[in-house]
Amino acid sequence: METSKRKRNQSGWGYFTALLFIASGIIVLCKNLNIIDTYVYNIIMSWQMLLTLIGIFSIIKGHFVSGLVTSAIGIYFLMPVIGMINGNFNIYFWPVLLMGFGILIIVKIFYHPKHECKFRRNEKTEFISTDGFINVDNSLGGIRQTILDETFKGGKIRNRFGSVILDLRRTTLGEGDTLLEIDCNFGGIEIYTPSSWNIRSEIIPFAGGYDDKRIHSSNIHNDRSLILRGTLSFSGIEIKN
C-alpha cells in the first residue's frame, strides 16, 4: 500500500512536469503563429504563473500549507503583470496571508497533536531515533536529526520552507536496499553518511538539485544501498561525509 502511494505521488509530479512542457510548447507555437498576442504570452509564460501552478498542484496533492503559500506568492506577483493590483489590495494581501498561514499551523498542530513523530528530544535539542526509522515533518524551521541506532532502517522526510540535517555517520545499513522517502518544497536537506555507503538517487527534481559531495572511499559496500526517492521543488539535497 505504501509502495503504491509512493508511485502515485511520483507519477503525479511526473505527469505535471510533462504537461507543463507540452503546454509550454503549444503556447510558444501559438505565439510564433500569431494566434496569441505578446501580452497574453508574457503572462502565461511568466515565472509568477509557474509558481502559481506549482502551488495549486501541491494543494491538489495534499500539501495544503506549502501549496497555499506558494500559489499566494505567485498570484501576488502576478497581479501587477495583469494590472489587477492597487493600493488597497497591497495593504490587505500580506497581513491576511500571514494570519491565514498562522491559523493553518495552529489547526495542523491541533489536528496532529503527536505530529506523527517517532523521536525523543535530548538535552542538545537534537532528535534521536528510537527504532532505526525516521519520520520528519518540518515546516518553516530547522531540524537536525542524528541516528544512533545500530542499523538505519529508512523513513520519510517532508520539508517545506525549512532545512533538515540528517546525520547517519554513527549508524550502518542492513543488507539490501534501505529506502528514504523525501518530499521537499522550497527548502534544503543535508545528509551526512560514511564515504563507503552506496547511495542511489531516484529523486524527481523540479527546479531543484541533488549533489553528492562526499570524498568517496575505494571500499564501497555494494551489498547494501541507501535509496533516496521522492520529489524536489525549488529545493536541494546535498550528501556529505
115 compared with 83, residue with greater pLDDT: 83
Looking at residues 212-220, what average pLDDT do you find?
80
pLDDT tens sequence across 172-182: 898 889 999 99
pLDDT tens sequence across 2-25: 444 445 555 566 777 788 888 888
**Three-state DSSP class for 73?**
helix
Enter the DSSP assignment of 148.
-
82 compared with 199, residue with greater pLDDT: 199
| Beta-bridge mates of residue 183 | 158, 231
pLDDT tens sequence across 21-51: 888 889 889 888 888 888 888 888 888 888 8
Task: Please count the other Cβ atoms lying within 10 Å of the Cβ belonging to residue 48.
Answer: 18
Whether the pLDDT of residue 164 is over 80: the answer is: yes
Helices (H), the chain: 2-32, 38-44, 47-60, 64-82, 87-111
Rounded distance between C-alpha atoms, residue 22 and residue 79, angstroms = 25
The pLDDT value given to residue 128: 60
Can you give the residue ranges of every domain in the chain? 2-111, 119-240
The answer to whether the pTM exceeds 0.85 is no
The pLDDT value given to residue 222: 82
**β-bridge pairing 127-129 and 151-152:** unpaired
Residue 110, H or E segment: helix 87-111
Q: 114: pLDDT confidence band, cut at 50, 70 and 90?
A: very low
The pLDDT value given to residue 124: 34
Assigned C-alpha cell, 199: 547511495
